[in-house]
């Protein structure tokens, strides 16, 4: 293996990358193009060749305050000067305790107990295990399965995959290896569409027939994200809460994408009147600095698991990593300084203005915006090999998937930058 040396030409690095590295959802033999990043500051990502890209993605929805934020950097450097990591078995530390305190204060009142893990997918695994263990200690060990709407996305690990959309998820590849869960149709789209009683009736019938084996219902509140960027009426959440209560089924909200302001409220749950039993958060939790997620639950579940001496059976090596907790504490402090509704409302307006011209294009099916999410849905899926370099040539970082070109920019982005992103999307969509 040739040693890396700093005099290597740019193209050599790109070649080595192709030989050595997997990237998300790519082929090793025909990888999509990848661009070498040199640095990032605010809403601008600079490539090694000097090109500067306006960031419309927040690095998969996580870098909400922008890159290289001075306050974030300072807080992480301070923690580094104390200690980078200690095991969470037998030890505890202020960064974790303070973060738990903040999360409990921010989330709906019944959510009081916090389990830290390394990534969103793992926080979902933890939530599912909590639900199963809860029913086990309540004397209902048959409740080991989950109900969920289609078009959901909950992560790439096995149990999380089992509750992802069965078609656009990875089910057909892993049919024999995945637990068969119960699927209902996705909530009908449209934030302001009136609630469909027929839809709720379908869920009622499923619960009525199978509640003996269903531990929990898991859903992304208000926005189904990677499964299709679908927005639905928050009122459904109130109805789901009532149905779950009636049939002794726990309710899990996956706020990994929607949490920390993205929908114009601190959590999407706040668009409803209820609280889930278990909530998963991740992605923006650390302001996109480090990998960290949390599963937050109420006393019913947390204390219920420990009835008859039970302990919760999960304990990652890097649980509550102090650097990640310090990053999260800094990020939440910055977030608390925002007027979230005002700021995200303004961002929504800017995106609406910038993206609505796309509505007139033949290739475009629909333009929709909600909070800090702007979506241009196409009639046909994009070719990532072709489209990604075009965006880079136009000086923006936008990464479409399937039929969706979308923006989820850092909250600090300026209107002029949103305009540039919108123009680039218009130009590329007009060439499709
Ligand atoms: C990204 C995401 C996950 C998975 O999180 P990872 O950190 O990628 O494991 C789970 N649920 C939702 C809603 C997500 O958006």
Is 328 found in the same domain as 346?
no
State in Å, rounded, how far the first CA of the chain is from the last one. Answer: 42
End position of a domain, from candidates 336, 355, 382: 336
How close is the Cα of 125 to the center of ligand 1, in Å?
Answer: 11
Q: Which atom of ligand 1 is nearest to the CA of 255?
A: 13
The answer on 321 and 269 residing in a single domain is yes
Total domains present in the chain: 2
Task: Find residue 397's DSSP bridge partners.
Answer: 55
Which residue's CA is minimally distant from atom 11 of ligand 1? 154
CA dist., res. 332 & res. 216, Å (int): 29
Report if residue 229 sits inside a domain: yes
The pairing of beta strand 250-254 with beta strand 214-219 = parallel
- Determine the pLDDT at residue 4: 54
Q: With a threshold of 0.95, does the pTM exceed it?
A: yes
Angle at 349 between CA 382 and CA 423, to 5 degrees: 40
Task: Round to whole Å and give the CA distance between 235 and 194.
Answer: 9
* Residue 5: predicted pLDDT: 57
Name the residue with tokens 């302990």: 311
Residue 6 lies in a domain: no
In a domain, 8, yes or no: no
Determine the atom of ligand 1 nearest the C-alpha atom of 283. Answer: 7
Q: How many CB atoms lie within 10 A of CB 349?
A: 13
User: Does any domain span residue 187?
Assistant: yes
Nearest-CA residue for ligand 1 atom 5 is: 120
Where b means 16+ CB within 10 Å and e means fewer, 286-303 reads bbbbbbbbbbbbbeebbe
How far is the C-alpha of 381 from the C-alpha of 358, rounded, in Å?
16
Q: What is the pLDDT of residue 170?
A: 76
Q: Given ligand 1 and candidates 64, 153, 155, 276, which is best to mutate, with the most ligand atoms within 8 Å of its CB?
A: 155
Final residue before a domain boundary, out of 336, 362, 389: 336
Return the pLDDT at 172.
81
For a mutational test of ligand 1's pocket, the pick from 23, 63, 153, i.e. the residue with the most ligand atoms closer than 8 A to its C-beta, is 153
Instruction: Give yes or no for a contact between 203 and 144, defined as CB atoms under 8 angstroms apart.
Output: no
Residue 204 falls inside a structural domain: yes
9 Cα–ligand 1 center, Å: 35
pLDDT, averaged per 10 consecutive residues of the chain (432 residues), comes to 64 94 94 96 97 98 98 98 98 98 98 98 98 98 98 97 89 89 98 98 98 98 97 98 98 98 98 98 98 98 94 97 98 97 98 98 98 98 96 98 97 98 98 94
Check whether residue 217 and residue 171 sit in a common domain: yes
Q: Give CA–CA dist 228/135, Å, rounded.
A: 32
Residues 415 and 286 in one domain: no
**Domain co-membership, 164 together with 230:** yes
Q: 304 and 348, same structural domain? A: no
Q: Is 105 exposed, middle or buried, given 0-12, 13-18 or 19+ CB atoms closer than 10 A? A: exposed
**Do 112 and 179 lie in a common domain?**
yes
Same domain for 194 and 154: yes
Ligand 1 center to 154 CA (angstroms): 6
Q: Would you call 140 exposed, middle or buried from its count of C-beta atoms within 10 A (0-12, 13-18, 19+)? A: middle
Are 342 and 143 in contact by the 8 Å Cβ rule? The answer is no
What CATH number does residue 98 fall under? Answer: 3.40.640.10
Q: Please tell me the distance between residue 151's alpha carbon and the centre of ligand 1 in angstroms.
A: 14
Nearest in space to 275 (alpha carbons), one of 104, 125, 134, 109:
109
Going from the C-alpha of 325 to that of each of 72, 100, 156, 198, 239, the distances in angstroms are: 11, 9, 23, 44, 35
Residues spanned by the domain of 196:
72-336
Residue 171 neighbours by CB under 8 Å, 6+ apart: 161, 164, 178
Among 336, 371, 401, the domain boundary falls at 336
Nearest CA to ligand 1 atom 8: 120
| CATH label of the domain that carries residue 413 | 3.90.1150.10
Cα 120 to ligand 1 centroid, rounded to whole Å: 5
DSSP strand pairing (396-397 vs 52-55): parallel
- Do 178 and 93 fall within a single domain? yes
* Mutation pick for ligand 1 pocket among 25, 158, 221, 283 (CB with most ligand atoms within 8 Å): 283
Q: Same domain, yes or no, for 79 and 63?
A: no
CA-to-CA dists, residue 372 to 7, 96, 186, angstroms: 41, 28, 22
244 CA to middle of ligand 1, Å? 24
Q: Which of 394, 413, 127 is nearest to 405 (CA)?
A: 394
Indicate which residues carry an active-site annotation: 25, 153, 254, 283
Instruction: Based on the fold, state whether residues 244 and 285 are members of the same structural domain.
Output: yes
Atom 10 in ligand 1: residue holding the nearest Cα: 154
Residues within a 6 A CB radius of ligand 1: 119-121, 124, 153-155, 220, 225-226, 254, 256-257, 282-283
**Does residue 165 lie within any of the structural domains?**
yes
Burial 390-414 (b: 16+ CB within 10 A, else e): ebbebebbbbbebbebbbbbbbbbe
E strands present in 141-213:
145-149, 182-184
Question: Based on the domain organization, do 62 and 97 belong to the same domain?
Answer: no
Q: Which atom of ligand 1 is nearest to the CA of 152?
A: 13
Domain annotation covers residue 249: yes
Name the strand (E) or helix (H) holding 373.
strand 373-378
Domain membership of residue 139 (yes or no) is yes
């Amino acid at each position: 293996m040739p040693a890396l040396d700093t005099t290597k030409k740019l193209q050599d690095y790109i070649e080595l990358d192709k030989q050595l590295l997997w990237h998300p959802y790519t082929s090793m033999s025909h990888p999509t193009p990848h661009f070498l990043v040199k640095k990032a500051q605010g809403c601008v990502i600079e490539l090694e060749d000097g090109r500067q890209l306006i960031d419309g993605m927040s690095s998969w929805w996580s870098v909400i305050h922008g890159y290289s934020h001075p306050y974030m950097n300072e807080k992480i450097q301070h923690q580094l000067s104390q200690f980078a990591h200690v095991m969470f078995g037998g030890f505890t530390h202020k960064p974790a305790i303070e973060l738990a305190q903040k999360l409990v204060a921010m989330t709906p009142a019944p959510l009081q107990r916090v389990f830290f893990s390394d990534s969103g997918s793992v926080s979902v695994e933890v939530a599912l295990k909590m639900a199963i263990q809860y029913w086990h200690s309540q004397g209902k060990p048959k409740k080991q399965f989950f109900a969920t709407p289609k078009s959901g996305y909950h992560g790439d690990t096995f149990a999380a995959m089992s509750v992802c959309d069965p078609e656009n998820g990875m089910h057909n590849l892993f049919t024999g290896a995945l637990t068969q869960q119960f699927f209902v149709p996705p909530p009908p789209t449209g934030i302001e569409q009136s609630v469909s009683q027929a839809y709720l009736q379908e869920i009622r019938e499923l619960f009525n027939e199978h509640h003996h084996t269903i531990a929990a219902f898991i859903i992304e509140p208000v926005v189904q994200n990677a499964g299709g960027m679908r927005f639905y009426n928050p009122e459904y959440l109130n109805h789901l809460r009532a149905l779950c209560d009636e049939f002794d089924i726990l309710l899990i909200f996956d706020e990994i994408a929607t949490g920390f302001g993205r929908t114009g409220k601190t959590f999407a749950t706040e668009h409803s009147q209820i609280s889930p039993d278990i909530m998963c958060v991740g992605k923006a939790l650390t302001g996109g600095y480090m990998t960290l997620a949390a599963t937050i639950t109420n006393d019913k579940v947390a204390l219920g698991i420990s009835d008859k001496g039970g302990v919760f059976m999960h304990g990652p090596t890097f649980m509550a990593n102090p650097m990640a907790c310090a990053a999260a504490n800094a990020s939440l402090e910055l977030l608390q300084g925002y007027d979230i509704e005002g700021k995200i409302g303004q961002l929504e307006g800017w995106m609406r203005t910038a993206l609505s011209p796309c509505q007139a294009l033949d290739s475009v099916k629909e333009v929709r915006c909600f909070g800090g999410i702007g979506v241009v849905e196409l009639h046909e899926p994009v070719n990532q090999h072709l489209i990604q370099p075009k965006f880079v040539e136009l000086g923006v970082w936008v990464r479409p998937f399937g039929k969706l070109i979308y923006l989820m920019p850092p909250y600090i982005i300026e209107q002029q930058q949103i305009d540039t992103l919108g123009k680039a999307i218009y130009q590329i969509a007009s060439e499709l």
